[in-house]
Amino acid sequence: MKNKHYADMNSKYSDEELMAFADKETSAERSMDILSDLLKGNEESKILARRIAVFIDTRNALLNSLIGEKK
């Protein structure tokens, strides 16, 4: 049953959508949808948080590498 939950949350938000959310580029309405799902505190919200964390970490690493190159 856990795999079904992962598949449901996985299909609800695309990677592109979560990347835009991490970059603060989603609409206010869609951001509220994602935040609402994150705040549920269930297994699906934990999976969603881990998916978003990947994009935040990647963005931060990219920014740090670009800033480091300019020094």
Element (H, E) at 44: helix 43-70
In the prediction, which pLDDT does 10 show?
57
Please list the pLDDT of the chain residue by residue as tens digits (71 residues). Answer: 444 544 455 579 999 999 999 999 999 999 999 999 999 999 999 999 999 999 999 988 888 888 886 55
- At how many degrees (to 10) do helices 28-38 and 15-22 cross? 100
In the prediction, which pLDDT does 1 show?
41
In the prediction, which pLDDT does 63 show?
85
In the structure encoding, which two tokens stand for residue 63, read together?
Answer: 């920014």
- Indicate the SS3 state at residue 3: helix
In the prediction, which pLDDT does 70 show?
59
